[in-house]
């Protein structure tokens, strides 16, 4: 159990960082938020891959990792878009 949690954190960190590298331009989100998005993408990606029967293969689970990366890219884009809607400096946009 604890090994699975540690693996999710490590894979989530890698997937989150890769997602930020894949997306062009600057993403104005913190490293901690990137880690959280990556962990969530890793967990959801594993669940989807398990449901599709591609989670446990004889070698490296490339399709599972590609799915996790795609989910992380979508997650980082969504978080970036939500963050860009906030106001800055206490002024409102109208």
> Per-residue confidence at 94, pLDDT binned at 50, 70, 90?
low
Q: Are 26 and 83 in contact (CB under 8 A)?
A: no
pLDDT greater at residue 92 or residue 26: 26
Contacts of 40 (CB under 8 A, 6+ apart): 12, 71, 75
Asked if residue 92 has pLDDT above 70, the reply is: no
Classified as helix, coil or strand, 92 is coil
pTM over 0.85: no
- In angstroms, the CA 34 to CA 12 distance is 9
């Amino acid at each position: 159990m604890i090994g699975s949690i540690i693996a999710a954190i490590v894979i989530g960190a890698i997937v989150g960082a890769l997602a930020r590298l894949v997306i062009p331009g600057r993403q104005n989100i913190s490293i901690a938020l990137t880690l959280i998005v990556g962990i969530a993408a890793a967990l959801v990606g594993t669940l989807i891959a398990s449901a599709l029967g591609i989670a446990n293969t004889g070698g490296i689970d490339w399709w599972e990792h590609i799915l996790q990366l795609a989910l992380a890219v979508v997650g980082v884009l969504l978080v970036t878009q939500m963050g860009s809607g906030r106001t800055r400096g206490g002024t409102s946009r109208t």
